[in-house]
Amino acid sequence: QSVLTQPPSVSGAPGQRVTISCTGSSSNIGAGFDVHWYQHLPGTAPKLLIYGHSDRPSGVPDRFSGSKSGTSASLAITGLQAEDEADYYCQSYDSSLTGVVFGGGTKLTVL
Amino acid sequence: EVQLVQSGAEVKKPGESLKISCKGSGYRFTTYWIGWVRQMPGKDLQWMGIIYPGDSDTRYSPSFQGQVTISADKSISTAYLQWSSLKASDTAIYYCARSAGVYYYMDVWGKGTTVTVSS
């Protein structure tokens, strides 16, 4: 069981908006450690999507946005496209485990 | 171009040793951390540990402490992940990734090394 909890799957039609939650605790997200998001297509390297809760690396479309509140964070994807179909992971740091922790991953299906 | 190039796929038997590599280029290798992430078949990403090639400061996930060894040779800009005695449960894809620090995000990833352990 992952330290950060994500829904196993979400889905949406092209053009719609979806959100993926990442729930942590007082030893990670709630302790103020940053949350980052990755997009992972099977057979490829994970790609950094959002860092520091809400910042986007160069080249990532502004359809992707991140937010954080309390012990949770969220990734929002607007204007859903077929190419967004992938696994999405949140990541933070946990002071109790003294290490990086990932969420269990969320599979996004574009209907 | 900043990139991490990982060594090729490996097929090993239980009990054998293995060392896989991750070579950085396009940036100053000694000023960024290199982390290792495991993805078992059909499973999620698991952080294994991280090393700072500049001084070989290494941190391990409690889940992987004592199970693997992370090292680096800064003279050839290469980080390593090694096992002394593989188990079937080590079958996975292993990714290396660059990070600015232990608490930070991983901004550049290698393409992964597939390790298959089977008798």
pLDDT interval class at A98 (50, 70, 90): confident
So what's the pLDDT on residue B61?
94
pLDDT in tens, A12-39: 999 999 999 999 999 999 999 999 999 9
Provide, rounded to the nearest whole percent, the portion of chain B with pLDDT above 70.
Answer: 100
CA distance A101 to A59: 25
Residue A97 has pLDDT above 90, yes or no: no
Locate the chain B residue with the closest alpha carbon to A37: B105
CA distance A82 to A60: 16
B64 touches chain A (CB under 8 A): no
Sign of the C-alpha dihedral computed for residues A67, A68, A69 and A72 taken in this order: positive
Q: Would the CB atoms of A48 and B61 count as touching at under 8 Å?
A: no
pLDDT interval class at A2 (50, 70, 90): confident
Q: Determine the residue among B105, B106, B107, B111 to mutate to test chain A binding: the one whose Cβ has the most chain A Cβ atoms within 10 Å.
A: B105
- Yes or no: say if A105 and A90 are a contact pair by the CB < 8 Å rule: no
pLDDT interval class at A43 (50, 70, 90): confident
The tokens for A3 are 């330290």
So what's the pLDDT on residue B40?
96
Residue A65 has pLDDT above 90, yes or no: yes
Residue A42 has pLDDT above 90, yes or no: no
Provide, rounded to the nearest whole percent, the portion of chain A with pLDDT above 70.
Answer: 100
So what's the pLDDT on residue A53?
85
Residue B102 has pLDDT above 90, yes or no: no
Nearest to B110 by CA among B38, B10, B18: B38
A89 touches chain B (CB under 8 A): yes
pLDDT interval class at B103 (50, 70, 90): confident
The tokens for A15 are 């053009």
Q: List, in order, residues 6 or more apart from B92 with CB less than 8 Å away.
A: B38, B39, B40, B41, B114, B115
Average per-residue pLDDT for chain A: 95
Min Cα–Cα distance to chain A from B55, Å: 19
pLDDT in tens, B32-49: 999 999 999 999 999 999
So what's the pLDDT on residue A102?
96
The tokens for B75 are 């003279």
DSSP B10: E
Q: List, in order, residues 6 or more apart from A41 with CB less than 8 Å away.
A: A86, A87
Provide, rounded to the nearest whole percent, the portion of chain B with pLDDT above 90.
Answer: 97
Min Cα–Cα distance to chain A from B76, Å: 23
CA distance A27 to A22: 14
